[in-house]
Amino acid sequence: MLSQKLHDAINAQVNAELWSAYLYLSMSLDAEAKGHKGVANWFYVQFQEEQAHARIFMNYLNSVDAKVELLPIEAVPSAWDSVLDMFRQTLEHEKKVTSLINNLAAIADADKDYASINRLAWFIDEQVEEEESAREMICAFEAVEGNKYGMYMLDKELGARVYNVPSPLAASAE
Ligand code: MG
Write out pLDDT tens, residues 51-98.
Answer: 999 999 999 999 999 999 999 999 999 999 999 999 999 999 999 999
CATH 1.20.1740.10 for domain 4-165: no
How far away, in angstroms, is 62 Cα from ligand 1 center? 19
pLDDT in tens, 144-172: 999 999 999 999 999 999 999 999 998 76
Ion ligand 1 — residues with CB < 5 Å: 17, 50, 53
pLDDT in tens, 104-151: 999 999 999 999 999 999 999 999 999 999 999 999 999 999 999 999
Output the pTM of the full model. Answer: 0.95
Alpha-carbon distance of 87 to 130, in angstroms, equals 11
Contact in structure between 41 and 159 (CB atoms under 8 Å) = yes
How far away, in angstroms, is 14 Cα from ligand 1 center? 9
Measured torsion, CA atoms of residues 109, 58, 87, 22, in degrees rounded to the nearest 10: -140
pLDDT at position 148 is 95
What 3-state DSSP class applies to 49?
A: helix
Got the DSSP string for 122-162?
A: HHHHHHHHHHHHHHHHHHHHHHTTT-HHHHHHHHHHHTT--
How far away, in angstroms, is 116 Cα from ligand 1 center? 17
Flag whether pLDDT at 20 surpasses 90.
yes
Residue 73 phi, psi (nearest 5): -95, 120
How far away, in angstroms, is 49 Cα from ligand 1 center? 7
Instruction: Classify residue 81 by its DSSP letter.
Output: S
Q: How many CB atoms lie within 10 A of CB 129?
A: 10
